[in-house]
Amino acid sequence: QLHLQESGPGLVKPSETLSLTCTVSGGSMSGGNYYWGWIRQSPGKVLEWIGSIDYHGITDYNPSLKSRVTISVDTSKKQFSLKMTSVTAADTAVYYCARDTKLAAIIYGGLTYFEHWGQGTLIIVSS
């Protein structure tokens, strides 16, 4: 059973960098050409895709966040990470890590849905 678990600071000060890690267990990161994504949900329940990475390290980012976001992967540790710079109160949200589904036919690898999700971690941006 695939399990994803987010870890992070909980509270980040405005203008600082948010760093989150997702640890994967119960499955391989290297096989199957899966896409690993970060999605956030605002306090108003709006879902926003942040970006995705495959096990080669190829990334896709939401243009609205691209200038501030970096996603990386370490398959040896079975982890992938999110860094977001210059955070503001608008970045306060529950952050989810997720793995895509292979149920759907491939158009382009990163254009996908997410079938396996972590439980989410609440990040509050406040001084």
74 counts as binding another protein under rule CB under 8 A: no
Output the smallest distance, CB 109 to another protein, in A: 11
Contact 34, 80 (CB under 8 A): no
**19 binds another protein per the rule CB under 8 A:** no
- Residues 80, 57: Cα–Cα separation, whole Å: 10
* Residue 41 DSSP SS3: strand
26 phi, psi to nearest 5 deg = 80, 10
Q: Check residue 81 for interaction with another protein (CB under 8 A).
A: no
Residue type (1 letter), 79: Q
Q: Which stretch binds another protein (CB under 8 A): 10-18, 22-30, 45-53, 77-85?
A: 45-53
Q: Which residues form the interface with another protein (CB under 8 A)?
A: 45-49, 60-64, 96, 98, 101, 103-105, 107, 111-115, 117-120
